Structure 1
């Protein structure tokens, strides 16, 4: 089956034959936003902007594994359990989800 999912807008570089060939060659699956709908990608764009700004900006990784580990640790040890979000009432994603589950169990 397909490997990693690559999501993009419908820019010319992402609709070219060369891009499609690259994706096939590397066993990647392509997903695209709807034409003219920038909101399809808003959550992902916001997350990656934070990842770049808070973690990987100006870093030079010696290996792909070092980069993978650094991004994994950012997501699993900081972003999800600790990073507070204004849209979640200043709760981390983990705390917000736990609160929602408690409310659902209580029938609220």
Structure 2
């Protein structure tokens, strides 16, 4: 929750294995006990039978955005714009292994733990999650309506990158 990238993978192709590895990584990291929604665009790697089977085995419900509507997957789109602008467009690497290390350092060493987000009250994803975990549930979900709104936001943030 809170814009943290919980599962990711890199490779030299856009096949189902790439997104399957990222989903498995997220599930290992979070070990979700309740139903999880994975939201994506309509890329063939996300809509393949192989990915649907894996999601079902992991207890993950798939949600796919409308064709041509980037706002349906806004948080994932925003993350990829950020990593392109702040890392990928600023450097070049001598090998894929070096590039993968740079991506790891960006996600795990910068984006998740230090990069501030205005939508999180100018906190990093890690600081936001720590603060959220320390609050009693009734303080951040004072009414049923607010609880649903807060939970929808969390699902959107988690599922967009999970």
Partner of 1:25: none
Q: Matches of 1:82 and 1:5 in 2, distance apart?
A: 25
Residue by residue, what CA displacement relative to the aligned partner does 1:32-62 show, whole Å, maximum 9, x if unpaired?
5322532222111111111111112142211
Decide whether aligned partners of structure 1 residues 3 and 48 sit closer, same or farther in structure 2, where only a CA change above 3 A counts. same
Question: Could you list the runs of 5+ residues in structure 1 that have no partner in the other structure?
Answer: 15-19, 21-28
- Specify the structure having the higher radius of gyration (Cα): 1
TM-score, scaled to structure 1: 0.69
Mapping for residues 30-45 of structure 1, pairs under 5 Å: 30-31=46-47, 33-45=65-77
Alignment coverage as a number of residue pairs: 90
Q: 1:52-67, aligned counterparts within 5 Å? A: 52-67=84-99
In 1: Cα distance, 2:95 partner to 2:40 partner: 25
1:75 equivalent in structure 2: 107
CA RMSD of superposed structures (Å) = 2.5
CA spacing shift, 1:85–1:67, aligned 2, 3 Å: same
TM-score (norm. length: structure 2): 0.48
Distance 1:78 1:36 in 2: 31
